A and B are shown apart, each in its own frame.
Chain A
Amino acid sequence: METLLQQILNGLVVGSVYALVALGYTMVYGILGLINFAHGEVLMIGALSALTTITALMGVAPELPPLMLLGAGLLVAIPTCMTVAFLMERLAYRRLRGAPRLAPLITAIGVSFLLQTVAMIVWGRNYHTFPQLISTTPIQPIEGVFISPVQISIIVVSALLMFALVTLVNRTRLGRAMRATAENHRVAALMGVDVNRIIALTFVLGAALAAVAGVMFASNYGIAHYAMGFMPGLKAFTAAVLGGIGNLAGAMLGGIVLGLVEAVGAGYIEDFTFGFLNSSYQDIFAFVILGAVLIFRPTGLLGERVSDRA
């Protein structure tokens, strides 16, 4: 029982990171119909730029309190990621609106690998230790179940950010413009929405969330490197599809569900397969879920049915 509870807790932590990243995928998909393959790399840039900032600050001002260091890291990571996202939209994706359907996706894959390569050049190939500015020493709220302060902060911060985003989209003029654009670019433009600006903003917003997710991810595992964004990116995309792509609530739900399935699944996969598969197969869950959802319920958990017109 304790192990199950523990796994659920672990799943919740990872799931909130997936959810944050999934929001970026889902917003962009909702508005452009594009799988922004490079979104996972934004998370990586966030983590590594925060790392550089924190390391530099620790060098000049070692007496700074950890939370301040972390804040400074975020303060650099967020704008950096926003700039990266802005540039990729502006320089690459914008020119491909209305291009043949495979072109934007192939470009996105290219952007993803380009960002990884650039990160490899800037930060090298090695794994970097990410300073544990929030304690990772677990506490025991319930006998036999462990959670660390950093994990608690991940859950809390993710929840706050998601709440903020949903409020923004549902309650503000900007959010209304975003929803209108997602509905139909031409109509939105007729209503006086600056569609290009809204699309750029969508990318930038998603990037900000990914930056925070990257810093949290690196804090939790204590490492960062140039390829760290790839898997979480794919999984977050899976989460977005699972929840129903284009749907904010769906992305959050999908993230949490995926995190839970992974954590609980990894714990029990050996029992289920009579020892044939073990937890090194954990990554398979996401892919199998992705395939299964797309095949059996392409609209996801919360999405509505959209049919192609003949």
Chain B
Amino acid sequence: MPLAIETHELTRYFNDFCAVGGIDLRVEQGTFYGFLGPNGAGKSTTIKMLTGLLATSGGTIKVLGRNMLDARESLDAKRHMGVVPEDLALFDNLTAREYLTFVGRIHLMPRETIRQRCDELLALLGLEGEEKKLTLEFSHGMKKKLALAAAILSNPDLLFLDEPFEGVDAVTSRVIRDLLAGFVARGSTVFLTSHVLEIVERLCTHVGIIVKGKLVEQASLATIHQTGSLEDRFLHHAGAQLETPHKLNWLEEAAS
């Protein structure tokens, strides 16, 4: 199986602070890869470097066989990628349909296709009643849905999603799950980050666990299940301090 994403010693420093410390990712094409880690572990930083939003401090990145650190090759890779970044990538002063039209044209899609997919996506994600609103008037969940629509509009081979289920309602969450499952089923790749174990466990076929900037586990979910549960593995790596349980004694005293 060819690799959709491959990194070697990927590193990022913020001043002296090491947010991502030399990780080697290997994501095969056609997999649903969950990048799991506690808050502040370096998930968003990694995804930003993979998609070219953030400069690396060291290491190499190959996405869809192209070197992302090369100006020309990275453009080539970007042609086949869809991304929902951490703080999204919306324009305050456009409506949802205008934004999608713009993104479609950027991807050189024909007008008719754009119009048709716009209708479908807006209806599917429950945004069709909001066409008068500018994005700056959207709620956080609505913004997220719009960003997702823009990411899959061009039907990419590889989808990067940073915490896609944060702040999204249950109905839409179900819609998105089905959508992503279909996406993977026909051979595309999804790379999503989450700090919520259940999501990764339910959706993904492969898992990488990052803790404090280090990749501590990378395997298929099936392999992990052979030796135990994902939760055990996650807590084993992320919750080392839980072994000496810290109690807040004053919280357990009788209320005065």
Asked if chains A and B come from one complex, the reply is no
- Interface on B for A, CB 8 Å cutoff? none
